Amino acid sequence: MTERTVTVVPEAGLHARPASQFVQTANEYDCDIEVGAADGDLVDARSMLAVTSLGVGHDEEVRLVAEGDDEEAALDALETVLSTPEGEE
Amino acid sequence: MTERTLGGIGATPLSAVGSVVWYRPDDAIDLPEPPASETVDPSAERERFEEARERAHDELETERERAAERVGSDEAAVFEAHSQFLDDPQIEDGVENGIEGGLPAEHAVREGFASGIEQFEGMEGRMAERADDLRDVRDRLVRLLTGAERLDLSALPDGSVVVAERLTPSDTAQLDPDSVAGFVTATGGRTSHAAIFARSLALPAVVGVGDELLEIEDGTTVVVDGEAGDVVVEPSEETRERAAETDRAEVRHEPVTTADGRGIEVAANVGQPVEVEGAIERGADGVGLYRTEFLFLDREDPPGEEEQYETYREALAAFPEGRVVVRTLDIGGDKPIPYLDLSEEENPFLGERGIRRSLGPDEELFETQLRALIRAAGETEGDLAIMFPLVATIEEFEAGRERVEEVISELESAGEPVERPEVGTMIETPATAFLAPDLAARADFLSVGTNDLTQYVMAADRGNERVADLHDPCQPPVVRALRQVVEATEGTDTWVGMCGEMAGDPALTELLVGLGFDELSMSAVTLPEVKARIESVDTSEAEGLAERVLDASTKDEVRELLPRDNEEPNQ
């Protein structure tokens, strides 16, 4: 199991397009991935519904937890999504 | 038959005549009671659900492409979110549970979406809008599962006026502006998705008509008067003709001059980035009023410098040979913004708003905005002009300009490319009309906001229908204030423009040319008509008209002197 904490860079936070991209990226990997506020409960990173409901804003920290063969690669990719300002992808 | 009028909110100042086509997408979800569970085969239902989901993906992709083409990729992004809701594991689990429990797929879909919709409904702001997205996705699946006919909005007969309770993003993206004459919705306001869409496509539209709309029958002839915000049912011949005559001018993509060769800049007012494209299509020379409020409203945190920078850069890049006049944040006690400490005021329009907040409690926001603007200007070809709202004193203007200078020095020391913007002010308080000579000596430009100027000169609330007669830019005190402002700029390098509704009224074009304005900025929809008017105006005759109007003592006398709506000036 791999875990890391990442600061959300897109101005919109995990809403709209950034959330869409996040979920899309999570779906490209086979491992189980969960996401949540740094001190909160974790939800399924493949669920647009769950990810948007977290209501994570710009500059807030999220915790990513992955378990499976490609867990490192998955977290690298998700970290990139979360660290790229909107419009620069 | 006599005509009757239903009142709503005009989304575009365009009108059209057409025949009502009712759009009732919700009909598809009136499901009958589900059959007894033992008669339902879960594996067959699972298969039906999968098929419907696949077709829904295909539909969404087609609609996304169409929306990207017509209204830009930002608006199209909503379809990507819809696609992901369609595959959401949480929803899928809900649907699977329903099917497992013996429900047909369409009933299971409704169950599967229910908790998600409920979850978002309980939240605020843009989260609540996600509930609409979920309903949209749910209804699409149910329609595909039940085989319910959906009116194909992309293939309506010419002259159709689409009437609906509400139009979702996916609905509006399907409307073909070549055949649809306009649309009317029962719900929605000026900034609703449907209204924004209407403006970006220059479609006549009235929104927020209310329940009265539900009584209109299919096939009824209506006039959609987006200017007045009215829907006229069973219009008389005369009403029809008047409506049919708007918006006929040919689009001119080049700057225009008067018949005797005086150049007048004709620019567009923009309230949302999606409107930029419509402005270019309709021949705008630049943007005369770029409102920045959209960046700050309907969100939980203020927009950061990068987000603003990207947005401004796009606007400036859209007019490589033109100028974009950006108005700094203009908010006050009349709109709630969760992250700003906006206290309720007894008279918000006379309270702490516009530049008063930018030099006070919102100083940091103001500086961030200026940095984003000046950086964007340094990286694009278009020329930036920065305009302050609700200035009432010279000190305010000077303080605003100093902030601009400070930001420029900071960026220069940091080695960023900087292009010095023009700095000017709105003229919307009587105070600035009186101070016009002093401001003209200090500012690069003045731009009259006639809606607010009229409100403050006439002491008549612009939103109060009972004083609508007073709130008229043709009131002599307003016209005289305009002349005083223009006069103050004569013989200086300061240019003078107008960015209020008055600038977009073709019946007033000759008067405004005669008063001496250098620039007129308006909603994109009236650009072609105003450009056409300018080309037929003779400056000295227009000046004669302006003099006669300035001598008039009453609004009626002013109106009497103006060229008739459907006449070319000087004939």
- Tens of pLDDT, residues B95-112: 999 999 999 999 999 999
- Binning pLDDT at 50, 70 and 90, where does residue B397 land? very high
CA B155 – CA B165 distance, rounded (Å): 20
Interface A-B: count of C-beta contacts within 8 A: 68
CA B57 – CA B328 distance, rounded (Å): 41
**Using the beta-carbon criterion (under 8 Å), do B123 and A55 form an inter-chain contact?**
yes
Looking at residue A35, what DSSP letter applies? Answer: E
Dihedral (Cα; B125, A87, B357, B373), 10-degree rounding: -160
Chain A residues touching B116 at Cβ < 8 A: 49
- Report the SS3 class of residue B522: strand
**Using the beta-carbon criterion (under 8 Å), do B301 and A16 form an inter-chain contact?**
no
Q: Is residue A69 part of a domain?
A: yes
**Using the beta-carbon criterion (under 8 Å), do B88 and A47 form an inter-chain contact?**
yes
CA B248 – CA B138 distance, rounded (Å): 41
Mean of pLDDT values over B7-30: 82
- Report the SS3 class of residue B492: coil
Give the best residue of B73, B75, B80 to mutate against chain A (max A CB count within 10 A): B80
pLDDT tens readout for residues B243-256: 776 655 788 999 99
CA atoms B379, B381, B383, B389: torsion sign: negative
Provide the number of structural domains found in chain A. Answer: 1
| Nearest neighbour of A48 by CB, restricted to B88, B119, B304 | B88
With beta carbons less than 8 A apart as the criterion, state whether B555 and B474 touch: yes
Hey, is the C-beta of A19 within 8 angstroms of any chain B C-beta? Answer: yes
Taken as a whole, chain B contains a residue count of 571
Average pLDDT, chain B: 89
| Nearest neighbour of B304 by CB, restricted to A48, A50, A58 | A58
Residues of A annotated as part of the active site: 15
Q: Is residue A89 part of a domain?
A: no
**Using the beta-carbon criterion (under 8 Å), do B307 and A20 form an inter-chain contact?**
no
pLDDT of A88 > 80? The answer is: no
Percent of chain B with pLDDT over 90: 57
| Alpha-carbon gap: A2 to the closest alpha carbon of chain B (Å) | 22
Q: Which chain B residue lies closest to A18 (C-alpha atoms)?
A: B81
Q: Is residue A17 part of a domain?
A: yes
pLDDT tens readout for residues B137-196: 998 999 899 887 777 888 899 999 999 988 877 788 778 877 899 999 998 777 677 887
Give the best residue of A33, A48, A56 to mutate against chain B (max B CB count within 10 A): A48
pLDDT of A33 > 80? The answer is: yes
Q: Which residue has the higher pLDDT, B73 or B395?
A: B395
Chain A residues touching B313 at Cβ < 8 A: none
- Binning pLDDT at 50, 70 and 90, where does residue B568 land? very low
The CA–CA distances, whole Å, from B395 to B359, B438, B489, B538 equal 11, 11, 19, 39
CA A48 – CA A45 distance, rounded (Å): 8
Q: Which residue has the higher pLDDT, B386 or B2?
A: B386
Owner of token pair 């403006």 = B199
Q: What is the pTM of this model?
A: 0.63
Q: Is residue A20 part of a domain?
A: yes
Give the best residue of B75, B83, B90 to mutate against chain A (max A CB count within 10 A): B90
The ipTM value here is 0.83
CA B479 – CA B512 distance, rounded (Å): 9
Q: Average the pLDDT over each of B336-350, B367-381, B541-555 and give the range with the smallest value.
A: B336-350
Angle between helices B42-71 and B126-146 (to 10 degrees): 120
Start-to-end C-alpha separation, chain A: 28
Q: Indicate which CATH number applies to the domain containing A72.
A: 3.30.1340.10
Q: Is residue A45 part of a domain?
A: yes
Domain boundaries, position A52: 2-83
Parallel, antiparallel, or unpaired for β B205-207 and B180-185? parallel
The per-residue pLDDT for B37 is 80
Give the best residue of A49, A60, A86 to mutate against chain B (max B CB count within 10 A): A49
| Nearest neighbour of B84 by CB, restricted to A12, A23, A85 | A23
The per-residue pLDDT for B571 is 34
Q: Which residue has the higher pLDDT, B30 or B541?
A: B541
Q: Is residue A88 part of a domain?
A: no
**Using the beta-carbon criterion (under 8 Å), do A49 and B88 form an inter-chain contact?**
yes
Residues of B annotated as part of the active site: 193, 499
pLDDT tens readout for residues B419-461: 899 999 999 999 999 999 999 999 999 999 998 999 999 999 8
| Alpha-carbon gap: A47 to the closest alpha carbon of chain B (Å) | 5
Chain A residues touching B134 at Cβ < 8 A: 49
Structure tokens at B408: 């420029």
User: Angle at CA B111, nearest 5°, toward B166 and B25?
Assistant: 25
Q: Is residue A59 part of a domain?
A: yes
* Residue (of B56, B77, B57) closest to B68 by Cα position: B77
DSSP code per residue over B404-458: HHHHHHHHHHTT----PPEEEEEE-SHHHHHTHHHHHTT-SEEEE-HHHHHHHHH
Chain A residues touching B304 at Cβ < 8 A: 11, 58
**Using the beta-carbon criterion (under 8 Å), do A52 and B127 form an inter-chain contact?**
yes
- Binning pLDDT at 50, 70 and 90, where does residue B198 land? confident
- Binning pLDDT at 50, 70 and 90, where does residue B363 land? very high
Chain A residues touching B299 at Cβ < 8 A: 12
CA B559 – CA B222 distance, rounded (Å): 28
pLDDT tens readout for residues B257-301: 999 999 999 999 998 887 888 899 889 999 999 999 989 887 778
Q: Which chain B residue lies closest to A10 (C-alpha atoms)?
A: B307
Parallel, antiparallel, or unpaired for β B287-290 and B263-270? parallel
